[in-house]
A and B are shown apart, each in its own frame.
Chain A
Amino acid sequence: MGRGGSAEWQRPERQWRRTVAGVPYLWLLVFFLAPFAIVLRISFADPLIGQPPFTPLHDEAQGLQLTADNYRFLTEDDLYWVSYLKSMRIALVATLLCLLIGYPMAYGIARARPVWRNVLLLLVMLPFWTSFLLRVYAWMGMLSGQGVVNKALLALGLVDQPVQILYTDFAVCLGIVYTYLPFMILPLYAVLERLDGDLLDAAADLGGGPRQAFLDITLPLSAPGVVAGSMLVFIPALGEFVIPSLLGGLDTLMIGRTLYDEFFINRDWPLASAVASVLVLILVLPIVVFQRVSQLGREAAR
C-alpha cells in the first residue's frame, strides 16, 4: 500500500483524536475560564443597589467603565490580608499534617500483602460514602464541651473542666486533615506501590540500613507523589468554607468565609469578586512553580 493509502485511513482517526483531546479543553473553557472571566470582569466594577448589583461594563455616556477600587480596598483593610494569611497558615499546617500522617499510611498500604492492599485502600476511601457535611457535624458533636473528646479527657483526669476545642483554629485544622487525608494518601500510594523493591535491595547491598535506603531512594523517588498529594490537599484547603464556618471560631477568618460574607451578607459583588480573583492568583502561582520545577526535573533527566 502506498503512502497516500495509509493517510486515507488515518484521517478519521486523527479527527477523532482531536475531538477527544478537545473535550477537556472545552470543559475547562465552559466551566472554568468563562465563569472566571465573568468574576474578573465584576471585580473591576463598582457596587450598585440593583439587579445585577454592580455597574455595567459599558456606559453610553462614559464609555468603558473599569475601576481598580476593589483591589485597592483589599490592601487597605487588614481583614483581607489577615484572612489570606490565616487561610494559608491553616492550609499549610493541615497539608504538612496530612503528609506526616499520610506518608506512613501510604507506605504501609504499599508494603502490605497484595490481598490486603485493596481492603486498606477501600478503608481509606470509605469515609467518602457518607456525606461530607454529616461528617463535619459529627466532629462538632465530638469536639463540643459535652463531646466524647472532652468526656474522655475528664475521665482520664487530664483536665478538671471541659476544654474549648470546638470553634478554634485547631478544630478547623483537624477537620481539614480528616477530610483531605485520602487525597494525600492515594497519590503517595500510587508512587510508593510502583517503587521497585530491587532498588532498596541494591541500596542495602551497597549502602547502609533501612533508614539510609529510605532517605536515599524511597523519599526522593516518591517526591512526585508528595507534590501531587500536597497540592490536592493545599488547594482546596486554602479556599475551604464549610469546615471553618462549622468548626472554626469567630476569629478563624479563612478567606472562604470572608468571600461568603462579602457576597451574601454585604452583597458587595465586585469586592467579593476581587477577593476571589486574588485567591485564584494565589492558587495558580504554586501550580505554575510546580510545573516549572517538574519540567526542569524532566529536562535534567534528559
Chain B
Amino acid sequence: MNPWEDPAAEPFIRIKELRKSFGGVAAVDGVSLDIYRGELFAILGGSGCGKSTLLRLLAGFEAPTSGEVRIDGSDMAGRPPFERPTNMMFQSYALFPHYTVADNVAYGLRKDGLGKAEIKERVAELLELVQLQEFGRRKPRQLSGGQQQRVALARALAKRPKVLLLDEPLAALDRNLRERTQFELMGIQERLGITFIVVTHDQEEAMTLATRIAVMDAGRFVQVGTPTEIYEYPNSRFVADFFGTINLFEGRAEASDPSRIICAETGALIHVEPTAERPLPDVLFVAVRPEKIRIDREAPAEQGMTVLRGTVEDMAYYGNHSVYRVRTDQGKLVQVSSPNAHRSAELAPAGNEPVHLSWPRDCSVVLTQ
C-alpha cells in the first residue's frame, strides 16, 4: 500500500495552511499538504502560480506570512536554510563560478567543519555518484550544461539532506539529455531513499518522475494525486487542460437520466457514468482524452457508446500514432489520437473523409468546475 493511502502512516513533511504574500498579494495562498518519506513529489503549475515560492518557503529562503512547515516532526519556523534538513538544486544550478567542481561540492561540508580527509572522501564519492570523477579540478564554466547540472546535484546531496528540493531540474537540458537525466534522478532517489520535491511547469516531466503530483494555480493546490489519477480523473477543467490535450464539451444532464448529457453547443448526446455527486449543476463539462476516442468509417456496433459523426479536417502522422482533427456534423472540432497498430496507411481515414467518433461511457469525465 502506498503511504498516502495508509491512514496510519506518519507524514514526513507536513505543510499546514501555509501562506506567503508579497505586498498584499498572496503568492502561496494557504496550502496544506502531507508528503511521505521517500516520495518523489512534483509540484506542477504555470509561471507565477506560486510553486517556486512554495519551494523557497520549504528551503527557508523566505519566511511564511502564516502557516507551518514541519519536516520529520520538527517545526521549521525561524530556521535558516542551512539549519534545515533540506538542500536545493537550483534551476540556474547556481554553481560558484570561482570554485572548482570539487570545491563546489565540498562547500557545505567545509562549512560543517568536517575533517579534510573526510571531505575528500565524500567529494570523491559524490562525484562518482554523478559520474564526474575526472572533473573535480575543473571550473563550472568548463563543463557542459548537463555536467553542470550533475555538479549541482552532487553539491545538493553532499550534506546528506533528508529532503532534496529541485527547481525545474530538467528545464535547461535538451531533449535527449532530459530523458537520461530523468532516469538518473529517479535512480539516485531510489538508491539514497531521500524524499524529493520537484517543482516544474512541464506536465510530462511531472508525470514520468513523480509518485504524486500537486497541481497548483494562483497560489493554491487545484488537485493532488498520482499521475494516473490526475490524468484520468482530473477534478477541474484547469487540470484537464493543463495535462495534455483534452476535448471539452459543455452540456447539461437530462433530468430523467443524469447519465445522459446533452451537449449545449452541438445538441449531441454524450453518455457518462452515473456519478455519486448529486445534484449536478445546470452547466457542466464532459472531458474526453484524444486517445480514448475511436475513429472509424462505420458506426460502432456496441451499445451505450457516445457516437459523433464528422469529417476529418486534417491529420498529423507521428509514426507511433496519428492525430486527427475531426469537425463533427454539429461543427465542433474534436482531436483524436489513434495508435498506428497496422503498417498499411491506406486503412487509416484520410482528409475530408466522413468518420464516426466513439468512446465508451467510462471514458467521459464529468467536470463541474
Contact = CB atoms under 8 A, between A and B. Distances in A.
A217 B98 CA distance: 8
Contacts of A302: 139, 142
Contact of B94 (A199, A212, A301): A199
B94 A221 contact: no
A196 B90 CA distance: 12
Contacts of A242: none
Contacts of A204: 60-61, 80-82
B90 A220 contact: no
B365 interface: no
Of the listed residues B61, B80, B90, B94, the one surrounded by the most CB atoms of chain A closer than 10 A to its CB is B94
B159 interface: yes
A302 B137 CA distance: 11
B150 to A, nearest CB: 15
B97 interface: yes
B88 interface: yes
Contacts of B88: 201-202, 205
Best-surrounded residue of B86, B90, B98 (most CB of chain A within 10 A)? B98
A24 interface: no
Contacts of A217: 96
Nearest to A223: B98
A220 B98 contact: yes
A202 B96 contact: yes
Interface string B104-116: 0001100100000
A8 interface: no
B59 interface: yes
A203 B108 CA distance: 8
A201 B142 contact: no
B109 to A, nearest CB: 9
A77 interface: no
B212 interface: no
Contacts of A208: 82, 111
Interface in B112-164: 139, 141-142, 155-156, 158-159
B61 A206 contact: no
B98 A201 contact: no
Residues of A contacting B: mostly: helix
Q: How large is the interface on A (under 10, 10 to 19, 20 to 34, 35 or more residues)?
A: 10 to 19
A196 B94 contact: yes
Contacts of B81: 201, 204-205
Given A198-B94, A204-B82, A221-B98, A301 B111 contact: no
A29 to B, nearest CB: 36
A207 B61 contact: no
A198 B90 contact: yes
B335 interface: no
A286 interface: no
A301 B139 contact: yes
A204 B159 CA distance: 13
B189 to A, nearest CB: 19
A196 B98 CA distance: 13
24 contacts: A198-B90, A198-B91, A198-B94, A199-B94, A199-B96, A201-B59, A201-B90, A202-B88, A202-B90, A202-B155, A203-B96, A204-B82, A205-B88, A205-B108, A206-B87, A206-B107, A206-B159, A209-B82, A212-B111, A216-B96, A217-B96, A220-B98, A302-B139, A302-B142
Interface of B: 59-61, 80-82, 86-88, 90-92, 94-98, 107-108, 111, 139, 141-142, 155-156, 158-159
